[in-house]
Amino acid sequence: MKNFEKLDKMLWQALSSDNEPDDSLNRKIINKIGERNRMRGTNKRRLSVSAMVAILIVATSISAFAAWKLLTPREIAENLGDKGLAIAFDGEGAVSINQTQTIGDYKITLMGIVSGKEISDFKHSAEEIFPNRTYSVLAISRVDGTPMPHPLDPAYDEMSFLVSPFIKGQHPKDFNIFTMNGAGSWFVEDGIMYRIMECDDIEVFADRGLYIAVMDEFDIINSYKFNKETGEISRNTAYKGINALFDLPIDPSKGNYDEGEKYIQTLLRDDEEVSDEELPEIEDLLKDAVLIPESVQKVVPDKDGMIDYYFAEHKLKADIKSLFEEGQVGFSDSRFMDDGNILVFSRDDDGVITVMTYRK
């Protein structure tokens, strides 16, 4: 299978923070997340997962480049099989940035960004509503030169990054990679991780100010500071994890205040509508679905209350508190879904948790 053919295969990953965000943020995360092939999480009573993001891992085997030489944004897009985006990164509308920040053990380089309509070969479902998209390219390496682990390396699962746009004047907990229909793809080559982050068009906010954030956990409340008076967003230098933050040098004349305001109001309105949505009972949801026997696994929470679930190409990490109320047994009201799979959780009287996948 070629690298770009793997673009049709999605993984799930739920990332949870030690600091639980409020229900409003939870609802936005759950209801707004979007990927090329979306996996969606729902909770009938209480939408209380800290974050969930579908991710795509693409292993690469292109010709070797010298370790000291970063691939170009065009080469990165080409390696992901996206010829259209590769051409866009060579176009006049692309912005070359090449700014590097060293946070902890990692060196993070924001290489470039480009925005436009239908410039990628891979259409995101959100394009039907917001046709213009923004794509940014980053490279992440270790300061000491140790290669980043390959996706097939077990150490890869212990490492996670999340790239998100922020808008000056808007609290990042409300407008981020999840609420702005984001997605991501990446690969490791010559010990360097290359990532492409995409989201709804942010160029429209160029007149206000924009940021690209890189986190190791979705812990926006603690990793960044928001100044309500100036609207500026900054790193929390006391934060122990990864919290890089780049000011985007985009020409302010590319912004459109009215269009930006219209977008903001649309997201806020959609959030209110979705919050009132009635989700189906799990018994009704599974009525026409078939349990995949090999998917059934009993899981044990770690010391932080997190459970890990792996099945085929799917990977899930979730906070047990987000799945079950205290003392709750039977099916959880939380479930994760994509077009063909439904991931559900149950807990018996002895506290044993079982995770299983149904397929329609």
- According to DSSP, the β-strands at 233-235 and 224-226 are antiparallel
Helices (H), 195-275: 220-223, 257-275
pLDDT, tens digit (0-9, with 9 covering 90-100), for 322-346: 788 888 898 888 777 766 788 889 9
pLDDT at 341: 80
User: Which pair of structure tokens corresponds to residue 285?
Assistant: 């949801």
Q: Rounded CA gap, 13 and 201, in Å?
A: 24
Burial degree of 87 (CB within 10 A; 0-12, 13-18, 19+): middle
Share of the chain above pLDDT 70, in %: 76
pLDDT at 271: 60
Taking a C-beta distance cutoff of 8 angstroms, is the pair 321, 18 a contact? Answer: no
Q: Which range (51-55, 225-229, 290-294, 338-342) has the least confidence? A: 51-55
**Mean pLDDT taken over the chain:** 78
Confidence of residue 301 (pLDDT cuts 50, 70, 90): confident
Output the CA torsion 213→126→319→188 (10° steps). -50
Output the CA torsion 235→237→243→247 (10° steps). 30
pLDDT, tens digit (0-9, with 9 covering 90-100), for 161-215: 889 999 999 999 889 988 898 888 889 999 999 999 999 999 999 999 999 999 9
Question: Backbone phi, then psi, for 100, in 5-degree steps?
Answer: -120, 135
Please enumerate in sequence order all residues whose Cβ is within 8 A of that of 218, keeping only pairs 6 or more positions apart, or say none: 15, 16, 17, 29, 50, 51, 53, 162, 178
pLDDT, tens digit (0-9, with 9 covering 90-100), for 133-152: 999 999 999 999 999 998 77
- Provide mean pLDDT across the span 119-123: 90
- According to DSSP, the β-strands at 353-359 and 341-347 are antiparallel
Q: Rounded CA gap, 199 and 162, in Å?
A: 13
Q: Would the pLDDT of 6 be above 80?
A: no
Higher-scoring residue by pLDDT: 118, 55: 118
In the 8-state DSSP scheme, what is residue 340? S
Confidence of residue 256 (pLDDT cuts 50, 70, 90): very high
Compute the half-sphere exposure of residue 52: CA atoms within 13 Å on the CB side of its CA.
32
Q: Rounded CA gap, 308 and 294, in Å?
A: 16
Higher-scoring residue by pLDDT: 337, 349: 349
pLDDT, tens digit (0-9, with 9 covering 90-100), for 306-324: 788 877 656 676 778 878 8
pTM of the model as a whole:
0.65
Q: Would the pLDDT of 14 be above 70?
A: no
Share of the chain above pLDDT 90, in %: 45
Q: Percent helix, strand and coil across the chain, each rounded to 5?
A: 20, 35, 45
Distance of CA 59 to the CA centre of its chain: 18
Q: Would the pLDDT of 93 be above 60?
A: yes
Higher-scoring residue by pLDDT: 34, 293: 293
pLDDT, tens digit (0-9, with 9 covering 90-100), for 24-35: 444 344 333 333
